[in-house]
Amino acid sequence: MKPLTKEQLAGLAQLVGATQEHELNCHDCLALAAEFAERQLAGLPLNEALTRVEEHLAVCPECREELLALKKILQANG
């Protein structure tokens, strides 16, 4: 394994720092992603379950990438 870069180290530290005792997993996040994206784009408040989506996105770059793509579709569809 190559030495980790500053960015990777910072990423690891931030992941550890953002870790919560109870977190959604990717499957739970996907189930809530549509509601989360619609409410976020509409500027509506998030309930507790959707706040946990936000916490999951902080530690999961893959779900973050997918949510961005979903929002892109919603924005394109007006």
Partner 1 sequence: MVAEEVNWPAVLRGPDNAAALAGLRAVLLNGLRVALRERGDVNDAHLEDFAQEALLKVLARLDQFSGRSKFTTWAHAIAINVAFAELRRKRWRDVSLEALLADGRELTEPATLGRDAAGDDEERARIIGALRTAITERLSPKQRAVVAGLLEGMPFDQVVDLLGTNRNAAYKLVHDARRVLKEQLVAQGISSATIRAAFAP
State yes or no: residue 44 binds partner 1 (CB under 8 A): no
State yes or no: residue 72 binds partner 1 (CB under 8 A): yes
- In 3D space, the residue among 61, 46, 52 whose CA is nearest the CA of residue 21 turns out to be 52
CB of 54 to partner 1, least distance (A): 15
Asked if 25 and 52 touch (Cβ cutoff 8 Å), the reply is no
Asked if 20 and 50 touch (Cβ cutoff 8 Å), the reply is no
Q: Which two tokens stand for residue 35?
A: 């509601």
The residues that touch partner 1, with contacts defined as CB under 8 A, are 1-6, 8-19, 21, 23, 25-27, 30-31, 33-35, 37-38, 59-60, 62, 65-66, 69-70, 72-74, 76-77
